[in-house]
Amino acid sequence: MQRFNVYIGGCRTTISVVDVLVDLLSIKLCRETGTNESKSIVNNWIQNLLYEDNDPYRQRISQFIQRKIIMEIADKKIIRQYESYLDSI
């Protein structure tokens, strides 16, 4: 697990993300992983996502972020099929 310090609702908090998700997102965003720069890029992506979400009372932030990372790195065809499945239930 990798930890990231982020701000939500003006408060600093730490979230944890599974290593493989950080690596895959890092590769997608900057074509490298395992460097301070790539971790900073991932941290900025996460922080921007939280700013866009704009929910200062959000619970389970780590799980929310991991779901968003999966949706970002997954094949778009799989995402469409998943969303179709969710609509059907």
Per-residue pLDDT tens over the stretch 39-76: 999 999 999 999 998 888 888 999 999 999 999 999 98
Over its C-alpha atoms, the chain yields an Rg (Å, rounded) of 14
pTM of the model: 0.86
Structure tokens at 70: 């999966």
Instruction: Determine the Cα–Cα distance for residues 35 and 7; give it in Å rounded to an integer.
Output: 22
**Tens of pLDDT, residues 6-20:** 999 889 999 999 999
Strand partners, 9: none
Q: Is 10 within 8 Å of 56 (Cβ atoms)?
A: yes
pLDDT number for residue 74: 93
